[in-house]
């Protein structure tokens, strides 16, 4: 028995595995683990570990798991540079007097009427790869004549009929403001009301468009002036809607900005398709 006791005492005591502690910077703050964030939250149901003073004499020492070796550092593969998105030119169209009959403040979706050959023109323009964007001043919203819901219904009805005849419109943008009339936020001196270029600039930003190679079609000087201020070079005045009177009263201004005239949207489509074929 004494020999056995001596042999038991002679056996070396197993060494304790040192506890890994998170590194600290010189100021004493814990640094994040090199392979992830330091996690201090306990999962639901996990018991709080008691310290040595809170444990009784007969409590077992805490089990210390052998730390896993850190994985070898992973070197990411060489990244492929992102593809550069090249801005595309677009075809910008006014709505009332260019696509639809000019009715003043259109507030009834059922009253919307396409101008002659407008649907055919949109179908021809849809054969190109260029986005087709409709931009329209709608101060009737500020005036209380219609609201945004009715406007969306008008555009949804337009889009259905355009699609049924082989055309498309990729986006509608509208300005609901008036600088002097209506409640806030519609009474505003905004940058989107034509002849200011805000709608063109926003569409270009949203859709990745190249304004410097784009086309704009409208029936008023302010339609084309907004496009010119945005940097659109190809300006076409249609003589539908208010176009004929605009030509009579603003001939010098139209010449100054380099606008060309077309009898209607179908004739404007001829010019646009001819320009694209020349490219």
* Chain mean pLDDT for the chain: 83
pLDDT band for position 67 (cuts 50, 70, 90): low
Residue 19 has pLDDT above 70, yes or no: no
SS (H, E, C) the chain: CHHHHHHHHHCCCCCCCCCCCCCECCCCCECCCCCCCCCCCCCCCCCCCCCCCCCCCCCCCCCCCCCCCCCCCCCCCCCCCCCCCCCECCEEEECECCCECCCCCCCCHHHCCECCCHHHHHHHHHCCCCCEEEEEECCCCCCCCCCHHHHHHHHHHHHHHHHHCCCCCCEEEEECCECCCCCCCCECCCCCCCCCCHHHHHHHHHHCECHHHCEEEECCHHHHHHHHHHCCCEEEEECCCCHHHHHHHCHHHHHHCCCEEECCHHHHHHHHHHHHHHC
Mean pLDDT across the stretch 155-160? 98
pLDDT band for position 66 (cuts 50, 70, 90): low
Residue 15 has pLDDT above 80, yes or no: no
Spatial distance between the Cα atoms of 79 and 92, rounded to a whole number of angstroms: 38
pLDDT at position 218: 99
Asked if 258 and 221 count as a contact pair (C-beta separation under 8 A), the reply is no
Which position has the token pair 């009474």? 187
Asked if 254 and 230 count as a contact pair (C-beta separation under 8 A), the reply is no
Residue 5 has pLDDT above 50, yes or no: no
Residue 61 has pLDDT above 80, yes or no: no
pLDDT at position 32: 42
CATH topology of domain 93-263: Rossmann fold (3.40.50)
Residue 109 has pLDDT above 90, yes or no: yes
Rg of the chain taking only CA atoms, in angstroms: 36
pLDDT band for position 36 (cuts 50, 70, 90): very low
For residues 164 and 78, the model is more confident at: 164
Mean pLDDT across the stretch 229-245? 98
Mean pLDDT across the stretch 220-232? 98
Structural domain spans, the chain: 93-263
Question: Which residues have a Cβ under 8 Å from the Cβ of 94 and sit 6 or more positions away?
Answer: 134, 135, 136, 217, 218, 219, 220, 223
Phi and psi of 246, rounded to 5°? Answer: -65, -40
Residue 132 has pLDDT above 90, yes or no: yes
Spatial distance between the Cα atoms of 276 and 271, rounded to a whole number of angstroms: 9
pTM of the prediction?
0.71
The pLDDT tens digits for 164-218 are 999 999 999 999 999 999 999 999 999 999 999 999 999 999 999 999 999 999 9
Give the distance, in angstroms, between the CA of residue 171 and the centroid of all CA atoms in the same chain: 12
CA distances 257 to 196, 236, 251, 254, Å, are 15, 11, 10, 5
For residues 19 and 37, the model is more confident at: 19
Mean pLDDT across the stretch 64-88? 60
The pLDDT tens digits for 186-200 are 999 999 999 999 999
For residues 201 and 63, the model is more confident at: 201
Q: Which two tokens stand for residue 254?
A: 């139209």
- Number of C-beta neighbours around residue 205 at 10 A: 9
């Amino acid at each position: 028995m004494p020999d056995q006791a001596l042999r038991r005492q002679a056996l070396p005591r197993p060494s304790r595995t040192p506890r890994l502690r998170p590194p600290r910077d010189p100021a004493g703050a814990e640094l994040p683990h090199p392979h992830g964030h330091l996690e201090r939250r306990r999962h639901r149901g996990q018991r709080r570990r008691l310290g040595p003073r809170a444990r009784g004499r007969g409590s077992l020492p805490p089990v210390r798991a052998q730390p896993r070796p850190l994985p070898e550092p992973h070197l990411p593969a060489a990244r492929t540079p992102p593809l550069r998105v090249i801005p595309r030119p677009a075809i910008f169209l006014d709505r009332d007097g260019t696509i639809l009959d000019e009715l003043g403040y259109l507030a009834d979706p059922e009253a919307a009427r396409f101008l002659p050959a407008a649907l055919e023109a949109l179908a021809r323009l849809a054969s190109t790869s260029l986005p087709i964007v409709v931009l329209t001043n709608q101060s009737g919203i500020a005036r209380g004549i219609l609201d945004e819901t009715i406007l969306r219904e008008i555009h949804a009805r337009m889009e259905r009929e355009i699609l049924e005849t082989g055309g498309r419109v990729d986006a509608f943008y509208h300005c609901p403001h008036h600088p002097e009339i209506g409640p806030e936020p519609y009474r505003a001196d905004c940058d989107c009301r034509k002849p200011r270029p805000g709608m063109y600039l926003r569409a270009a930003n949203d859709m990745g468009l190249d304004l410097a190679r784009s086309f704009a079609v409208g029936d008023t000087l302010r339609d084309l002036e907004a496009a010119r201020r945005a940097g659109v070079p190809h300006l076409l005045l249609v003589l539908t809607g208010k176009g004929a009177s605009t030509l009579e009263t603003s001939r010098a201004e139209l010449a100054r900005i380099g606008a060309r005239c077309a009898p209607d949207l179908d004739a404007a489509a001829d010019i646009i398709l001819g320009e694209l074929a020349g490219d």
